[in-house]
Chains A and B, each alone.
Chain A
Amino acid sequence: MDAFEELTNRYERRVYSLALRLLRHEQDAEDVTQQTFLNALEGLENFRGEASFATWLLRIATHAALKVIRKRKGLDTVSLEEATEETDRYDTIPHPEYIADWRQSPEELVHQREVQRLLEAALARLDDRHRPVFLLRDVEGLSVRETAEALGLSEANTKVRLLRARLQLREELTRTLGNPARRVIRGAHNH
């Protein structure tokens, strides 16, 4: 148990952060975190080491969180992913609108409390189809394949959703962090 407790100490913040960002509800995030570690404890012998322990845990947490999201939407039988698969195409991706160099580098920005709030708020505005993909791929560092597997999506669909999420976040962040004096107007951006 000591070894498992050590693993819990190491990964509990990542699991809780993922759950809270997916669900945006503290109690649900706590339930999912607890369920994740209990399931991991029970299924430890099934962990084969094909993925890292962190990836395995994040997968368990993602499944538990998606279950909560589906329940909220009354989609117990229809898969959220399948139901929306065909709408994810490259040709409908919105073009960037607010284009400007940022006033500061990410290294300077990352420690600012205001910026952390901005990042969380922008994440929260992504919809339930795009937020999980961005969180697993870019925040947690899973590969596209691992992200697709965790979410039950095709890799192609995962990539399109990832692009949409990244572009939406770029748009929102640049509106706040961009330097208006260095804004490039979109009219020139269409050839």
Chain B
Amino acid sequence: MKCAELLAALNEYVDGTVDPAICEEFEQHMAGCNPCQVVVDNLRQTITLYKGGKPIELPAPFRLRLHAALRQHWKKTHRPKG
């Protein structure tokens, strides 16, 4: 496996969905290629950082407006009959 081929299999490798035969070649390549090993580490760290980030808070006035709009919509569509 060459560096370029490793690049093409990178997603599947870091997601753990790579074919076992390719996985073996991939790991053999990394054992002899420090730059590729570091790229794989960097990529995993990048994904971990984004996964671990917190969602953005809604601006408070918008949150109030959103909930009021939902309640109003509910009332309009679920008016008691009779």
Contact = CB atoms under 8 A, between A and B. Distances in A.
Genuine A/B complex = yes
B35 A189 contact: yes
A141 B51 contact: yes
B15 to A, nearest CB: 8
B42 to A, nearest CB: 5
Nearest to A123: B50
Contacts of B22: none
Contacts of B42: 96, 99-100, 102, 170, 173-174, 178
Nearest to A1: B74
Contacts, number: 135
A106 B48 contact: yes
A109 B69 CA distance: 38
Interface residues of B, number: 43
A178 B67 CA distance: 43
B51 to A, nearest CB: 6
Interface string B17-53: 0000000000000000111101101110111111111
B16 interface: no
Interface in A84-110: 90-91, 93, 95-96, 99-102, 105-107, 109-110
A188 B35 contact: yes
A188 B33 CA distance: 9
B62 to A, nearest CB: 5
Contact of A106 (B49, B57, B71, B74): B49
B47 A13 contact: no
A184 B70 contact: no
Given A17-B55, A138-B47, A138-B51, 7 more contacts: A8-B70, A100-B42, A101-B38, A119-B49, A166-B10, A173-B42, A189-B35
7 contacts: A30-B66, A42-B73, A99-B39, A106-B49, A116-B53, A170-B43, A189-B3
